[in-house]
Every structure is written in C-alpha cells, then in structure tokens.
Structure 1
Amino acid sequence: MNKEVRVGVAVIIVRDDCILLGQRLGSHGAQTWATPGGHLEVGESIENCAKREVLEETGLVINSLQKLGFTNDIFEDEGKHYVTLFVGASCEQGEPQLLEPDKCAQWQWCNVNELPEPLFLPLTNLIHETSILEKLR
C-alpha cells in the first residue's frame, strides 16, 4: 500500500433531478461511474479545484458551489488511500464534452433514482454514509 494519503475533489453537478457521471477508464476505478473531479493541488482552494477539474474534463462552467461532505476511501486492490471532498454545483447551460478520452469513456446525465452501476468507491461511500441522494431529489 502506498504510504501517502491523497486528497480528491469530486463534483456533484445537478440538473433537472440528474447528476453528471462519467464512465472511468484506466487502472484507478476502471469501468465505474464517477462524478467529475481530481486531485487537489498544493495551494489550491477546494472550490477552484472543482471548477478546474470540471472544465478540464467536460468543458462545463459550474457555479453555486457548496461543500457536501467527505469520504475516507481505501482502494485495497490498487493500494491507494484517498480522502475525497465532495462539492455540489449547478450548471444550467451546455452539454459535457469528452475532453479526456483516455480517462473517461462517456458522460451521462443520470437520474438520482436510477444511477448506473458499478459506482466509483468514493461515490458509493458517500451514498452509504450520508443521505446525500435525498438532498439532491
């Protein structure tokens, strides 16, 4: 196991009872569905990280950011440990573009009552640890 704990920022973008999820590629959570997000950089605010990652991955500009909570995520198979900070945001205009096709196969707006499976571990943990889906409905 890697001895370093990394900090991830995950962005739950809500539009019309749906959240934006992407199907991950690569070794870390491959084939799971996850929100846009990424690593918090040194000196970066959580909000700026959220805006930067969403823009880099989808081309969308988000607003109305709010802190939703965090999860402690241990990826046994990959030997990785993350603390994931979840941020809620809205985005009224535009459709997501596939700007990092090596990291994501597709983006979809998913109804909060019918989320695809399997979900990325941090999102699964958030759903199990909080009543986040009730707040988004």
Structure 2
Amino acid sequence: MESGTETRPKVAVVVFLLNRYKVLLGRRRSSVGRDTFALPGGHLEFGESFEECAAREVKEETGLDINKIEYLTVTNNVHANASKPLHIVAIFMRAFLAQPNQMPQNVEPEKCEGWDWYDWNNLPSPLFGPLETMARSGFNPFPADENDN
C-alpha cells in the first residue's frame, strides 16, 4: 500500500458519555456508518490530549460540557475493502455531564440526526461497527463502583 496521507491511519477520540445507566448515542448521517447509532467523537487535532479532544468533540456535536474524562480502551479499525480504504485508531474515553440537568442539542445536523440517552442493556439498532463489536464482546463502559458517577 502506498504511504500517502490517504492510506495513513487517522486517530479518533470517541466518548462514552454516561448518565446513570444510560449512554448518549446519535444516528450518523456521514458516509461512513450512515444511519447507525454511534457515540460522540471525532478526529484528534495536532497537540491535543485525548481528554481535550473528548471535551471539544462532545461540545461541538452536542453542546454538552463534560468532566471526569478518562481513558477506557483503544480499537484498531481497518476497512481495507471499502470503496475508499479507511483505517481508524479509535481512543475510547468515558465522561460524565458537568451539570446533570444539561440536555443534548443537535449542533451538527448535517452529521447527525439527533442525540438521545439509551439504556446500555437495551441499545438501539443498528449500532456503528466498532461500537457494536464492543457491546457484543461484553464490554462495559460503566465504572465498577456506581458511586463514581
């Protein structure tokens, strides 16, 4: 494979925004994963920490302020057989609402149909590929101590 920027992996920061036993999801309108439910997130910018990227992306997409941002895991997502090959390294973070009474807004309607809270044990369908893989594997984004949130 050539070494041009088109074939280099991109780094995304994706956020499990938790509210009690619910997680915030939006239905994607972008070409990758269109009409699937996904977590808020986006590409890491030069010089940004994972936490800074998580806070920025959640604010840009949902209007929400978050805190208690922490690293959870990483996935390596290669879509070599797609019409436009794509390789994304996804950094998954966990965060909570800075103020519990905040309501998500659809700040980028061209990219998302809207945001809503979903029970982790009753997620909507279809889920965005990497999220579906994690959910089916038994991954749990919630803290072991429920008093942490």
The TM-score with structure 1 as length reference comes to 0.91
The amino acid of 1:13's aligned partner reads L
Is the aligned partner of 1:51 residue 2:55?
yes
Provide closer, same or farther for how the CA distance between residues 109 and 93 of structure 1 changes in structure 2, counting only shifts above 3 A: same
**SS across alignment from 1:132:** coil
Q: Structure 2: how far apart are the matches of 1:11 and 1:72? A: 16
Kindly state the Cα deviation for residue 129 of structure 1 after the two structures are TM-superposed.
4.9
Q: Structure 2: how far apart are the matches of 1:50 and 1:60? A: 11
Alignment of 1:33-52 (within 5 A): 33-52=37-56
Map of 2:64 onto structure 1 = 60
Alignment of 1:1-137 (within 5 A): 2-75=6-79, 76-77=81-82, 78-91=84-97, 92-129=100-137, 131-132=139-140
Which ranges in structure 1 are unaligned for 5 or more consecutive residues?
Answer: none
Query: Contact between 1:71 and 1:126, CA under 8 Å: does it hold in 2?
Result: no
Q: Structure 1: how far apart are the matches of 2:130 and 2:66? A: 21
The TM-score with structure 2 as length reference comes to 0.84
4+ residue runs over 4 A deviation = 133-137
Q: Structure 1: how far apart are the matches of 2:121 and 2:136? A: 14
Kindly state the Cα deviation for residue 127 of structure 1 after the two structures are TM-superposed.
2.8
The amino acid of 1:83's aligned partner reads V
- Deviation by residue 1:42-85 (Cα, 9 ceiling, x = unmatched): 11110000000000000000001111101111234241110100
Q: In terms of Rg, which structure is larger?
A: 2
- Deviation by residue 1:67-104 (Cα, 9 ceiling, x = unmatched): 11011112342411101000000012311000000000
Query: Contact between 1:64 and 1:89, CA under 8 Å: does it hold in 2?
Result: yes
Query: Contact between 1:71 and 1:83, CA under 8 Å: does it hold in 2?
Result: yes
Q: Structure 2: how far apart are the matches of 1:97 and 1:110? A: 16
% identity of equivalent residues: 42
Kindly state the Cα deviation for residue 130 of structure 1 after the two structures are TM-superposed.
5.8
Query: Contact between 2:21 and 2:142, CA under 8 Å: does it hold in 1?
Result: no
